[in-house]
Amino acid sequence: MKTESDKLRNLLHRFLEKGTPEQEQERRQQRIAKIKTISLDYQLGRYVGEEIARDHLPTLSTDWLRTCKVIQVTQEETERVDELEKNWGKSHEAATSTNIEWEELRAFREILEAKYLPDELVCHIQPVNVKDDGEFKKGVADAIWDSDLSHYSCSGPEDIEFHLSDDAFFSVITLKRTK
């Protein structure tokens, strides 16, 4: 029986495996065809979402992945997260693992998020000219989701608020914290 590790290794091998020149050309043409189906507004949204993830998203010092805007939590809170992570790790490795430890860790992280992170994150970026707000917002949401860094809702375009500032100096993207 194949383990998860074997399956992932096999998948990675197939992904990286070189084919014949004809197969490589066919794959290239498939990628080009897919690129041509993506709207400019969606692509612009992806770039804006990546900028937001890189330059605007705050993370906590106890997060596994961090942005350049790290909010420091107390030493006691850090120690509590470490303890909960160890408990979850031990439980996860146990033959009869439960979700209790994961739920405890997740609940404590939510307490920290509520304590330290703003409910709304307002990002001012260079003004952008968007024809299809829905596609643009979908691109923003997808990029932020793919970053694995966000504590803010970004499951789809409905989670992204977008408008031009009153003085027209900026486009304003507003995200709401996941609760």
The per-residue pLDDT for range 124-138, each reduced to its tens digit, is 999 999 999 999 999
CA 98, CA 101: separation in Å to the nearest integer? 7
Q: What is the mean pLDDT of each run of 10 residues along the chain (179 residues)?
A: 65 69 87 92 96 95 93 97 91 74 93 96 96 96 93 91 96 92
Among the listed residues 149, 177, 162, the one whose alpha carbon sits nearest the alpha carbon of residue 57: 149
CA 38, CA 59: separation in Å to the nearest integer? 30
CA 109, CA 95: separation in Å to the nearest integer? 26
CB 81 within 8 A of CB 64: no
pLDDT of residue 15: 65
| CB contact burial 81-101 (16+ within 10 A = b; e otherwise) | beebbeebeebeeeeeeeeeb
pLDDT of residue 74: 97
CA 130, CA 135: separation in Å to the nearest integer? 9
Tokens encoding 148 = 């694995």
CB 61 within 8 A of CB 71: yes
pLDDT of residue 8: 67
Residues 6+ apart with CB under 8 A from 133: 41, 157, 162
Longest dimension (CA), the chain: 63
Task: Report the predicted TM-score, pTM, of the whole model to 2 decimal places.
Answer: 0.79
**Rg value, the chain, Cα:** 21
CA 129, CA 45: separation in Å to the nearest integer? 11
pLDDT of residue 92: 73
